Structure 1
């Protein structure tokens, strides 16, 4: 969105500043409404140094949740949607959100609905947001819809952070272990090679193994690093292809210990999202299609697609879920009860709460379990290398004493 610098006058006298607007004319109108008579206005050229570069979602989740909460409060207080959008556009700390809200404000002033205006910015306002806003506009409960969206994003963020926290600890320890091993094999072990070669006697098997590993690491360290980089790049490449992502997600869900944690997190995410959509009066087929698109696990997404097809055939939502290992019996039974009693949104909300607590407990148990395992593993590896050096040194010492 263009930025304009201006020089003008208001009641207090001469002043200058800048304004972001879709056009020069709109910028003049905005400043006039603020009581500023524009004397001069120039557009600020956008360069690679001034342009914001965003990777992934350009708006932080915290900024977006704050925006939703404030928007809901303003609407509930009787502030018109257009004015509320303008106020929040100038209050938010996110430049990307500010630019999009200013554009949304222009669309609203032209008579467009909020859902229509926000749909033009899919990187900021998700498909779920747009569809829930449509339902909120139809029911006249935009403030409740915004509150529900804020709660949804907060719960989603909390669950994701717990998973990241649980997986970060073993990853960091693993990296440290690899760095220590490389340092010992490349920096420490070679200093003893000459001493052992002068000894002349047969070295113990463990020492020969460590010396061989040291020689290989010194000669092919570049290959070792290349393999790690290729592995990481390969994982990212596989996740971009739908079919390969399915098999990768299948493997992750089947992993010992970590698989159950990821499964619980996926179920909590999909049930929470589906409950929010249904509570906002989004049609169930449309709601499932939205959840299917935003599901981070391809295995779960395919089951949801089958569930949607099942509903279109007039069958139960849970029919495909009952036949798939990724959905525990508790989930399918509670959804079946929700279908039969007409309280599917409330039942999904209970499932989400249950599995969010399960994720909390599982991450705590995982941290307490992994910490001693990783410490013992690191101590064993370092101890093996140290032992491989010390054993022949004792033999050399005994030989000299004799």
Structure 2
């Protein structure tokens, strides 16, 4: 789940860029001195995104009925709890424009990091897609024709050719059955990972993977730190900020960790001590949080944690992609080469035999 998306009723999604523009426009109107209700009226009238207009209209109507802006946003059911909590903090502090500034900066950074990560994965995904298309075409359209040709010739085929034909023609149903079984198993694991227990176990497994696991964990910690820093900067109390940040975490293991830490902080434990009790938060992050608590600069230090890990995750992904790309190319080349050589090997053998005679 991307942090820069808000979900509309019925499962539709509003792009992060649309949401960012909405916040910028709303904040500009508030800073200009317009009342909240008048600002919502203007936004509802001039909204260019059709999906946003009914949402803004609903919020405006709730505010007109006497609801606070944070209550109206929460009741809309399409925005994250982080957003409604940030607005609530702005209302309580009397600094709604300032809080919206913090939230807009949070949106920009989060969206930028996510776009950078997705962009780094586009090329490997494209390579895999091309490989699947090529192999599928060869297996379904080319190999069966060669198999019929060689059977009509009634000749002894080389071992690689026999293996290729057996896998793709003679035992196709068995092969497809194995693939289907693997797909069903993968779907079952995916559905199980969506449960609380399964997700926690799956997260433990993911985070223990070499290189990739540590990268995934640090990305989650960066997202949590960025969210909590935004809420604290806007004036949200620590315990309330932890509760809201917990709801925004996608990892069930880290969510459980933060939930337990929230209870410990409520009972008087320090934040770094509460998070460190789980053993799932990196030591460097704990050390930086401890310094932030002792110096009274927790929010800036959480931002520093987020920036440090976001940069590290981006660098690691770039390195991994630069390593994966040649490996994928070599792997694709070997598969296609094996198929083509196996198909044409009998023809080469016949040619050499005919020449020898």
TM-score (norm 1): 0.79
1:395 to partner: Cα distance: 2.1
> Which of residues 273, 278, 289 is equivalent to 2:243?
289
Matches within 5 A, 1:123-202: 123=78, 125-197=79-151, 198=153, 200-201=155-156
Distance in 2, matches of 1:57 and 1:150, equals 22
2:337 corresponds to which residue? 383
Distance in 1, matches of 2:113 and 2:225, equals 13
Tell me the number of residue pairs that the alignment of Structure 1 and Structure 2 aligns.
348
Matches within 5 A, 1:247-266: 247-266=201-220
Distance in 1, matches of 2:32 and 2:48, equals 23
What CA deviation, in whole Å up to 9, does each residue of 1:236-281 have, x standing for no partner? Answer: 5234312112223333333344333322321221100000011112
Aligned-residue Cα RMSD (Å) equals: 2.5
> Which of residues 318, 322, 346 is equivalent to 2:300?
346
TM-score (norm 2): 0.88
Which has more radius of gyration?
1
Name the structure where helix makes up a greater proportion of residues: 2
What SS is found at the alignment partner of 1:119?
helix
Distance in 1, matches of 2:236 and 2:101, equals 16
Contact 1:293–1:301, Cα closer than 8 Å, also in 2? yes
Change (3 A) 1:111 1:365: same
Larger displacement relative to structure 2 (296-305 or 174-183):
174-183
Contact 2:9–2:77, Cα closer than 8 Å, also in 1? no
Contact 1:149–1:276, Cα closer than 8 Å, also in 2? yes
Which structure's relative contact order is higher, taking Cα pairs within 8 Å and 6+ residues apart?
2
Contact 1:182–1:217, Cα closer than 8 Å, also in 2? no
What SS is found at the alignment partner of 1:310?
helix
> Which of residues 15, 20, 36 is equivalent to 1:81?
36
Larger displacement relative to structure 2 (180-189 or 288-297):
180-189
Contact 2:265–2:274, Cα closer than 8 Å, also in 1? no
1:284 to partner: Cα distance: 1.0
Name the structure where strand makes up a greater proportion of residues: 1
> Which of residues 53, 58, 70 is equivalent to 1:115?
70
